[in-house]
Structure 1
C-alpha cells in the first residue's frame, strides 16, 4: 500500500521549484500518489515585474495548481519547500500555514509525516534555522518529522541532515548532488508514510 504525498512549495525565481520537482520524482519511485502544489504569490505585482526572473518563473509555472487545505487533508505525508527569509520561511508559505487553524483544531493534521527543504543565497544565511522553524509547526500539528538525516551516501556529499538545502548564489540552479538529495528525501518520506499507512490498515 503506497502513500499520498503532497509537495508544497513557494518559489519566486525557480530554485525551490526545481528542488520540489526532484522531491516529487523521489516519492514517485515508491509508487506513491503525489501532488505538486505551489503556494499562491502574494507579493505586489510591481515588485514581481521589477525582477525579470521572478516574472518569468511566475509565467512558466502558471499551470501548477495552488495549494489548498484539501491537499493537506488528502496527504499522508507533506514536504514543504521555501526559500529562507532572514532564517525563517517565506511570508507566502507562512500565510498558508496560518490558514490551517481549522484543520489543526480538529486534529486532522496530526499523525502525518512532515519534512522540509530550502535554499538561500549564502552558506550561513539561515537555511538550517528555516528548516527548524518549520519543525516547530510540525510539533504543534502533532506531526511525525522525517528528515533525510545521513541515511544515504548522497547525504555525505550534500551535508544537511535537516532537509535538502541549496546555496543559490546569484541565479545558480541546484546541481545533480542537490537534486539527488531531494529525490532521496522524497523517497524516504514516501516510504516512511507508506509504512504508517500499512500499519494502520
Structure 2
C-alpha cells in the first residue's frame, strides 16, 4: 500500500478569502507529497443576490471552472479539509448542504478513520471563527473521523491565535478576498500537519 496521502480540500467561498486559503493549503500539501483535489461546493444563492455584490459576482465568475465535490472525492480521500466562511457563527449553507449529502458514505462507514480538519474566515475579528470550526467538527464526530486541529504546534499558531483551524479576519475593502502572511503561514502549517498525520495513519493501517 502506498503511503502517499490523498487529500480533498472541499470549501465554499463567496468573495475569495476561502479560495485563497484553499489554494495555499493545496500548494503546501502537494509540496509535502500529497495528491490533492480542490473542490468548491456549488453556489445556492440566487443569481440576483450574487450580482448585487460586485466582489461576489466577480469571484463567482472567476471560480466557475473549479470542480464541485462528489461522493467519490470524499471516498478517495485519506484526509479532508473543509472550509467555510462564517454565517452568523455557523457553517455556510453551501458547505453544509454538501456535508448533508454524505449519508451514503456514512451508512457504510466509508467516512470513518479519515483525518479531517477545517478553516474559516469572517468579516469581523470575533465574528464566529471558533464556533464555525467547532460546528464543522460536530459532523466529524458522527463520521467517526479523526479531527486534526493545528493546535499550538508551531510558532505560527501563536501569531494567528486559533488552535481550532486556520481563520482569517476578512476586512471589507479593496483587499477583500486576499489573505495576509499570518493566515498564509497558518494555512500551510495546518495542511502539512494534516498530510503528516494522514500518512502516519495510512502506515499504521498498512502495518
* TM class, shorter-length: over 0.9
Correspondence 1:186 to 2:188: no
SS of the equivalent of 2:50 reads helix
Q: Does the aligned pair in 2 maintain the 1:110–1:142 contact within 8 Å?
A: yes
Larger displacement relative to structure 2 (132-141 or 61-70) = 61-70
Cα distance in 2 between the residues matched to 1:68 and 1:152? 33
Correspondence 1:47 to 2:49: yes
SS of the equivalent of 1:2 reads coil
Residue segments in structure 1 that go unaligned for 5+ positions in a row: none
Cα distance in 1 between the residues matched to 2:67 and 2:185? 24
Cα deviation, residue 78, structure 1 = 0.2
Cα deviation, residue 29, structure 1 = 2.1
Paired residues in the alignment total 201
Q: Deviations over 1:52-85 (max 9, x none)?
A: 1111111111221111111100000000000000
SS of the equivalent of 2:83 reads strand
Please give the TM-score of this superposition, normalised by the length of structure 2. 0.95
Alignment of 1:159-170 (within 5 A): 159-170=161-172
Cα distance in 2 between the residues matched to 1:116 and 1:53? 24
Which of 129, 152, 157 is residue 154 of structure 2 equivalent to? 152
Q: Which runs of 4+ in 1 moved over 2 A?
A: none
Cα deviation, residue 132, structure 1 = 0.4
RMSD: 0.8
